[in-house]
């Protein structure tokens, strides 16, 4: 007659399974975590912490190069609450049609020396898409 495995074997298997799931969860979260900051918060952080971040703010008209229909843009991103606080952003990629001075944008990328190198640029939908304007149409 064969001896049945004891409870210790099942407990060890459960512990290994839970440890493996915990490791996968922890490593997945740490690799995909991205700071989501306004300009003031980004300026207050050490540049080393901004190796992967999303910033939001308003496009400043001063110093803007590139625009809709181009494949790059360089601009100052202003804090929504304090327009004196800005970060220079360099973006290489298709610039959205709604990109212009005064528009709220979200950029994703990394801080490199004194500039934020963006890999993604998204603009906030124009006001014509907001509810109160749809009712007037």
Per-residue pLDDT tens digits for 19-69: 988 887 776 655 556 678 999 999 998 877 788 889 999 999 898 998 888
CB of 59 closer than 8 Å to CB of 102: yes
In whole angstroms, how large is the CA radius of gyration of the chain? 24
- Has residue 134 been placed in a domain? no
- Has residue 131 been placed in a domain? no
Task: State the Cα–Cα distance between residues 127 and 32, nearest whole angstrom.
Answer: 32
Same domain for 118 and 108 = yes
Same domain for 97 and 73 = yes
Distances in Å between the Cα of 3 and the Cα atoms of 6, 26, 121, 131 are: 9, 38, 64, 71
Q: pLDDT value at position 135?
A: 52
Structural domain including 99 reads 34-124
Same domain for 100 and 44 = yes
Give the CB-side neighbour count of residue 114, counting CA atoms within 13 A. Answer: 2
- Give the CATH number, domain containing residue 47: 2.40.50.140
Task: State the Cα–Cα distance between residues 50 and 90, nearest whole angstrom.
Answer: 15
For the chain, the average pLDDT equals 83
Total domain count for the chain?
A: 2
Q: pLDDT value at position 8?
A: 86
Same domain for 69 and 4 = no
Answer yes or no: pTM beyond 0.75.
Answer: no
- 74 pLDDT band, cuts 50/70/90, is very high
- Has residue 133 been placed in a domain? no
- 133 pLDDT band, cuts 50/70/90, is very low
Residue carrying the six token digits 């049945």: 4
């Amino acid at each position: 007659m064969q001896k049945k495995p004891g409870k210790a074997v099942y407990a060890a298997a459960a512990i290994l399974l839970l440890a493996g799931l915990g490791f996968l969860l922890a490593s997945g979260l740490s690799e995909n975590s991205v700071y989501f900051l306004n300009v003031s918060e980004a300026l207050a952080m050490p540049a080393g912490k901004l190796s992967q971040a999303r910033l939001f703010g308003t496009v400043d008209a001063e110093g803007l190069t590139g625009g809709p229909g181009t494949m790059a843009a360089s601009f100052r991103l202003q804090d929504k609450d304090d327009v004196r606080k800005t970060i220079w952003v360099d973006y290489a990629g298709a610039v959205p049609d709604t990109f212009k001075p005064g528009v709220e944008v979200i950029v994703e990328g990394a801080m490199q020396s004194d500039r934020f190198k963006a890999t993604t640029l998204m603009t906030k939908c124009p006001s014509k898409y907001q509810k109160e304007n749809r009712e007037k149409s």
